[in-house]
A = this chain, B = another copy of it.
Amino acid sequence: MSSAVSGERVTIYDVAQAARVSTATASKALNDTGRVSLETRDRIKRVARELGFRPNSLARSLTRKRSFSVGLLTNDTYGRFTLPLMAGISEGLIDHGVSVFLCAIGDNPDLARIHVDAMLDKQVDGIIATGKRIDRPLPVDLTHLSVPVVYALTAGPSNGVTLVPDDRQGAGAAVRHLLAQGRRRIVHVTGPCEFDVVHERALACTQALAEAEAATEAKVLFGSWSEHWGHQAVEALWSGADKPDGIFCGNDQIARGVVDALRERGVSVPGDVSVVGFDNWEIVAKETRPPLTTVDMNLKELGRQAGLALMRLVNGEAVETGVWKLPCSLIVRSS
C-alpha cells in the first residue's frame, strides 16, 4: 500500500532491485511465465505490490507487438449511434486491458486517412469501423490494412466481419405486436427508399402481415426521417378512406410526429390507433405522449460483440465472416 509519492514512476528495475533478483526473473514472476520458484514469485509479487509497480504499457507493447488498444472510426457526428456502441465496445474490452481510440472522421476522406495512419503508427491491434448508415461504407478503404477490421453499423467488404441489428426481426416483432393488439389495418410510415434498412423493414412488415393473413402486402409510405414527415403522413392517411388502426414507423422521430398529429386530430393513441417506433431513442420515445412503444437495436450489446469479435481476430482465432444480424428488442410502452 505504501508506494510513497516518489515523483518518478516505479519500473521493473526498481522491483527487481528491491527483491534482490534480476529484471528477467521479476518479469517472469509478475507474468506467471518461465521458471521461477513459487517462493521467489510470491516475494517479487509482494514487493511489486508494495512499491505500487505498474508496468509501462508502451515498453511492453514494443516487445509483445500488441498495443492493447484499438481504434474506433466513426462517421456519425451526433453520436446517437456511436456512443452506445462505444460504451459496449469499451465494456467488452476493458476486461482485456484494451483501450479505445475514438476518431470522428465525418465524411472527409483525407481526415479519415490521417486518423487511420495515426492509429496504425500507434500500433493499434485492430480497428472497428462504424457509421450512421448500414448501406454506405466509410470514406476510406480499410481492406488492405495490416490489422484486422470489424464493421458495425456500416457497410463492409463481403469477406469481412460486419455486425448490424436484425432489422427484419425487429420490424417483424413490431408488426406482430400491433397484430396482437387486434390491429389489422396496418401502415408502415418510414424513411427515404434509398436506405436499405427501409426495404428490409418494409419486407418484414409484408411477411408478418402475410403470416397473420391480415394482408398480402403491407402499405408503405416512404418519406424522410423527420417528425415533420410523421405529420404529413397522418394528414395523407386521414384524408383518404380506409384509415389505419396501427402504424409502424421507421424511427422514433417519425413516430413522434405521427402521435402528435393524431392527438391534434383528436384520434386517441392507443385507443383508436396503436403506434410503434424504431430506435428506442429514449429522449424522444419517453417524452412522447403517450410514451412510445418502440424497437431497441441493442447497440450496446452490438458494440460488445464487435469488440469481442475484433479480439478474436487479433488473437488469430477463426471468426465467421459475413454479416452478423443481432436481435432487436421490442420495448413496450403505452402507445
Contact = CB atoms under 8 A, between A and B. Distances in A.
Contacts of A90: 102-104
A100 interface: yes
Contact of A58 (B103, B117, B122, B289): B122
A114 B102 contact: no
Contacts of A77: 83-84, 87
A72 B102 CA distance: 10
Interface stretch (A59-67, A305-313, A320-328): A59-67
A100 B102 contact: yes
A167 interface: no
A99 B70 CA distance: 12
Nearest to A287: B227
A162 interface: no
A111 B90 CA distance: 11
Given A94-B115, A260-B260, A283 B78 contact: yes
Interface stretch (A14-22, A36-44, A49-57, A267-275): A49-57
A97 interface: yes
A194 interface: no
A94 B114 contact: yes
Given A79-B83, A83-B79, A99-B101, A122 B69 contact: yes
Given A94-B118, A97-B118, A123 B79 contact: no
Nearest to A76: B83
Contacts of A62: 56, 58-59, 62
Contacts of A61: 58
Nearest to A65: B58
Interface string A250-287: 00010000001000100000000000000000010001
Nearest to A122: B57
Contacts of A120: 54
Category for how many chain A residues contact B: 35 or more
Contacts of A97: 118
A94 B54 CA distance: 28
A86 interface: yes
A9 interface: yes
Contact of A86 (B59, B104, B226, B287): B104
Q: Which of A79, A260, A283 has the most CB of B within 10 A?
A: A79
A121 interface: yes
A35 interface: no
A280 B100 CA distance: 29
Nearest to A97: B118
A117 to B, nearest CB: 7
7 contacts: A72-B102, A79-B84, A82-B83, A86-B104, A87-B104, A94-B114, A99-B103
4 nearest A-B residue pairs (beta carbon): A79-B83, A79-B79, A102-B102, A57-B121
Given A83-B104, A90-B103, A101-B102, 18 more contacts: A54-B121, A55-B121, A56-B123, A58-B58, A58-B67, A69-B101, A72-B102, A78-B79, A79-B82, A79-B83, A82-B83, A86-B104, A87-B104, A90-B102, A99-B118, A100-B101, A100-B102, A253-B283
